[in-house]
Amino acid sequence: MAPSIRLSPAARSLFDEPLAIAVQGLGPRQQVTLRTSLRDETGELFQASARYQAGDDGELDLARCPALPGGSFSGLEPMGLLWALQPQKPFWRLVKRDVQSPFLLQLEVLEGHGERPGRLLAQAQHERAFLRDGVRRVPVREGRIRATLFLPPGEDTFPGIIDIHGLGGGLFEPRASLLANHGFATLALAYYQFEDLPQKPNKFHLEYFEEAVNYMLQHPQVKGPGVGLLGFSKGAEVSLAMAAFLKNIMAVASLNGPVAVIVIPLCYKDKTIPILTLYEHKAKGTNSNFLDYSDVLDDPFQAPGNQSLIPLEKADAQFLFIVGQDDRIIKSEYHATEVCKLLQAQGKENFQFLSYPGTGHCIDPPFFPLYGIGSHPVFHKRAVLGGELRAYSKAQVHAWSQIQAFFRKYL
């Protein structure tokens, strides 16, 4: 029997779902290399490989067989061939612009464990999709709002979440689309550098975000009485400020967000929260010539920084702070720990805190490749974002399930 690859689900799975990989028809204890490849929408190639040995029966099941040393990872890692994908072009990030089309994953089984791949024994293709059948993608251009709403299948009402991305501008849909597959009406909200939104804003007005909250609450398929917010980095900061100043915010999940205003001031009605001072000269060089920016901000818990602190004690929402212990852009663990102490001192218990070792600034949904070194969102220089491959892959899966459980509980 010729070797063949067996996948479950066979042809197509959601990007954040596990994929079971097995090879049958090998020789007893045959040594093979498995390789995965995926091209992004610009054509850049991501690859991972691992070395395996088949069982006595010629079967190789990644859920039971550990990878041997010498590949992208080793040990028992059933999803290693997906989470270990790395760009062939250095410092390139895997981004999904068009969530209506899947990524195409190529799998190959190659003979032997050599530095150069051996003969091709088997290959397969698999689609990694962002939208479950029946999920609707609705472009939103209402008033000033520029966004995309993702609605789960069916005519029911669903808990509503607004997903707010970090600095970098544009409209970012992958996380919102994946959340909709899990039963949430999710609005991916752009807030600058998109269509007719400001290109270089000198402040962000919370009234814009308030309009998005009202849009969601007026939607016939959004189950009230309030909405949840999922924010990353600057988007997390905006989400925390929305909870402090706006009504109808029930739950906020903050991914590596500062708890003070940074880079661009926030204002609401007649109040402006100034930014923490940034000291670019405090960036530290690493031994690989990248910059570590983790110490460039004023401490928001010490004057003069505390003018920039978001008054979270005013918020009625539930908070879930998710932080990477190796975040090199913001001291997110310190920010979240200290703000939880402040809330506790005021007799509040409306917060949860999840801290992940070996996890850097970017916390994406499961199985996105680690983006540990990239462009700094403010200084646009090559910066250490932080994170370590295996630890990060575990954090992604755990955090994603916790985010969904949190919103199910409070929405």
Q: What is the CATH number of domain 136-410?
A: 3.40.50.1820
CB 65 within 8 A of CB 34: no
8 Å CB contact between 145 and 183: no
Give yes or no for a contact between 312 and 244, defined as CB atoms under 8 angstroms apart.
yes
- Would you state the pLDDT for residue 115? 87
Tell me which CATH code domain 4-129 carries.
Answer: 2.60.40.2240
Portion of the chain with pLDDT greater than 90, in percent: 92
For the sheet containing 284-285, what is the strand order?
284-285, 291-292, 382-384, 373-375
Residue 83 pLDDT: 97
pTM for this entry: 0.96
Residue 70, CA distances (Å) to 5, 49, 52 in order: 22, 9, 10
Residue-by-residue pLDDT tens, the chain, 411 positions: 899 999 999 999 999 999 999 999 999 999 999 999 999 999 999 999 999 999 999 999 999 999 999 999 999 999 999 999 999 999 999 999 999 999 999 999 999 998 888 999 999 999 999 999 999 999 999 999 999 999 999 999 999 999 999 998 999 999 999 999 999 999 999 999 999 999 999 999 999 999 999 999 999 999 999 999 999 999 999 999 999 999 999 999 999 999 999 999 999 999 999 999 999 889 998 777 889 999 999 999 998 789 999 999 999 999 999 999 999 999 999 999 999 999 999 999 999 999 999 999 999 999 999 999 998 888 888 999 999 999 999 999 999 999 999 999 999
What amino acid positions are annotated as catalytic residues? 233, 327, 361
CATH 3.40.50.1820 positions along the chain are 136-410
DSSP summary character for residue 380 = -
Summarised one tens digit per residue, pLDDT across range 241-298 is 999 999 999 999 999 999 999 999 999 999 999 999 999 889 998 777 889 999 999 9
Task: Compute how many other C-beta atoms are within 10 angstroms of the C-beta atom of residue 245.
Answer: 22
Please, what's the b/e burial string for 159-193 (b: 16 or more CB within 10 A of its CB; e: otherwise)? bbbbbbbbbebbbbbbbbbbbbbbbbbbbbbbbbe
Question: Are 249 and 240 a contacting pair, CB within 8 Å?
Answer: no
pLDDT value at residue 286: 79
Beta strand 45-53 with 31-39: parallel, antiparallel or unpaired? antiparallel
∠ CA 323-213-204 to the nearest 5 degrees?
Answer: 65
Length of the chain, please? 411
What are the tens digits of pLDDT across the range 133-148?
Answer: 999 999 999 999 999 9
Tell me where in the chain the CATH 2.60.40.2240 domain(s) lie.
4-129
CA pair distance 288, 295, nearest whole angstrom: 18
Greatest pairwise CA separation for the chain in angstroms: 75
